[in-house]
Amino acid sequence: MTLAATGEAIADAGARSRKSSFYAAMRMLPRPRREAMYEIYSFCRAVDDIADDGGPRDPRLAALDAWRADIAALCAGTRPRAGLDGLFRAIASFGLRQKDFLAVIDGMEMDVRADLVAPDLTTLDLYCDRVASAVGRLSVRVFGMPEAEGEALAHHLGRAFQLTNILRDLDEDAAIGRLYLPREALDAAGIPVTTPAEILESPALALACAPVVASAMEHFTTSQEIMARCPRASVKAPRIMAEVYRSILASLEARGFAPPRTRIRTSRTKVVLAALRYGIF
């Protein structure tokens, strides 16, 4: 991807974001906050596409560097190129921080430089912080949350979301040579670290997934406690997404992890019901 292509990438990602459950959850925000969230999400989709492209690594690393240059320019107040005007407005309107955007890019770079297979817990936590909690740190500024509570919610809810994604996407990730279950969990379950496909065939896989499920649940519980202390209007959107993701985690736990694993999908009805619960009443 060239420097000139990043604006096109974010426009394409933005169009796809409007078909997602994320879009349905964010529609209840006031328009300036809603549009800022669409820009953040579109940025994330664009850099995630680079990480998951599957092509040669060097061009993808160059594409991520192009995004770093774009973010630096936008945060410095430089007039944006075509396609980045919306992101420029979001940064200016809500004081979005360059370091949080760069953390997201750094997380994507972890996937580009090497396909992660059974990272240790420290590496996995860093990865979750970059690809999920950093997105949360951008988002809570748009939501208008108090500073301390917003930082704490981003930490816990981001990790809850990402651990849920890891459990949901085991087979999809294995198909591209990745497995994010922590090495310590595999060791405790007696599963040798081989290839992702072989690991997922282990009869002890549920034992390795159990501590990840428990960790995600702990982060969800702490997130609920944080949101309960915050002004209701500032946590409507994260409450909707938390309810949807918590239901995904519960469905995964109920389904189990033995093959064949049916895909757990987000019900649009659940998103709408959560929006009605937290967005109106």
* Per-residue pLDDT at 24: 67
Q: What secondary structure letter does DSSP report for 233? A: G
Averaged pLDDT score across all residues of the chain: 89
Cα 252 from Cα 263, distance rounded (Å):
9
Could you give the percent of the chain with pLDDT greater than 70? 86
Query: Quick one: average pLDDT of 140-167?
Result: 97
Task: Grade residue 264 by pLDDT with cuts at 50, 70 and 90.
Answer: confident
* Per-residue pLDDT at 19: 52
Instruction: Assess contact for 46 and 13: CB atoms under 8 A.
Output: yes
* Per-residue pLDDT at 281: 39
* Per-residue pLDDT at 6: 55
Answer whether 0.75 is exceeded by the pTM.
yes
Task: Grade residue 2 by pLDDT with cuts at 50, 70 and 90.
Answer: very low
Q: What secondary structure letter does DSSP report for 130? A: I
pLDDT at 15 over 70: no
Cα 17 from Cα 66, distance rounded (Å):
22
Cα 211 from Cα 213, distance rounded (Å):
5
3-state SS, residue 168:
helix
Task: Grade residue 273 by pLDDT with cuts at 50, 70 and 90.
Answer: low
Query: Quick one: average pLDDT of 149-177?
Result: 97
* Per-residue pLDDT at 267: 61
* Per-residue pLDDT at 4: 40
In the chain, what are the domains? 1-114 (no CATH), 115-281 (1.10.600.10)
> Mind listing the pLDDT tens digit for each residue in 53-102?
888 999 999 999 999 999 999 999 988 888 899 999 999 999 999 999 99
pLDDT at 10 over 90: no
